[in-house]
A and B are shown apart, each in its own frame.
Chain A
Amino acid sequence: MTESVGVLPIVSELSIKHFRPKGQFHKERFWERWAHKYGLDDRERHGIFIYDDGAYVDDYGVVCRRVVTDAGVAKLVDSFRNLFEPENFNYHAFGTGTTAEAAGDTALVTEVETRATGVQSGPAANQYRTVGTVSFTATRTVGEHGVFSQLAAGGTLWDRSLVTPTVGVNNGDAIEATYTLTINSGG
Chain B
Amino acid sequence: MDRLPFQRKREVPVDIQPVAQPAPEPVPFNLPAKPKDQLSDAGDVLHYLEEKYGGKSDGWKEPDGTRVFRLDFGDDRITGRGKTALEAVQHLAKRLGEKL
- A positions within 8 Å CB-CB of B: 1-7, 70-71, 74-75, 78, 81-85, 88, 149-150, 154-156, 187
Complex alpha-carbon distance, A136 and B59, angstroms: 44
The distance from the CB of B90 to the nearest CB of chain A, in whole angstroms, is 12
**With a CB–CB cut-off of 8 A, which chain A residues contact B17?**
1
Asked if B19 and A2 make an inter-chain contact with CB atoms under 8 angstroms apart, the answer reads yes
Asked if A84 and B23 make an inter-chain contact with CB atoms under 8 angstroms apart, the answer reads no
- B positions within 8 Å CB-CB of A: 16-24, 29, 31, 38, 40-43, 46, 59, 61, 67, 85, 89
Majority-rule SS of B interface residues = mixed
Q: A82-B85, A83-B46 are in contact. Are A4 and B41 (CB under 8 A)?
A: no
Choice from A4, A83, A85 contacting B22 with Cβ under 8 Å: A4
Asked if A4 and B46 make an inter-chain contact with CB atoms under 8 angstroms apart, the answer reads no
Q: Which of B17, B23, B24, B43 has most A Cβ within 10 Å?
A: B43
Asked if B43 and A5 make an inter-chain contact with CB atoms under 8 angstroms apart, the answer reads no
Identify 15 residue pairs between A and B in the complex whose beta-carbon atoms are under 8 Å apart, listed by A's number: A2-B18, A4-B22, A4-B24, A5-B22, A6-B23, A7-B24, A70-B29, A71-B31, A82-B61, A83-B43, A83-B46, A83-B89, A88-B41, A154-B38, A156-B40
Complex alpha-carbon distance, A155 and B40, angstroms: 6
Asked if B20 and A150 make an inter-chain contact with CB atoms under 8 angstroms apart, the answer reads no
Asked if A5 and B20 make an inter-chain contact with CB atoms under 8 angstroms apart, the answer reads yes
**With a CB–CB cut-off of 8 A, which chain A residues contact B40?**
149-150, 154-156
Complex alpha-carbon distance, A22 and B38, angstroms: 41
Asked if B23 and A82 make an inter-chain contact with CB atoms under 8 angstroms apart, the answer reads no
The distance from the CB of B8 to the nearest CB of chain A, in whole angstroms, is 26
Asked if B31 and A70 make an inter-chain contact with CB atoms under 8 angstroms apart, the answer reads yes
Asked if B31 and A83 make an inter-chain contact with CB atoms under 8 angstroms apart, the answer reads no
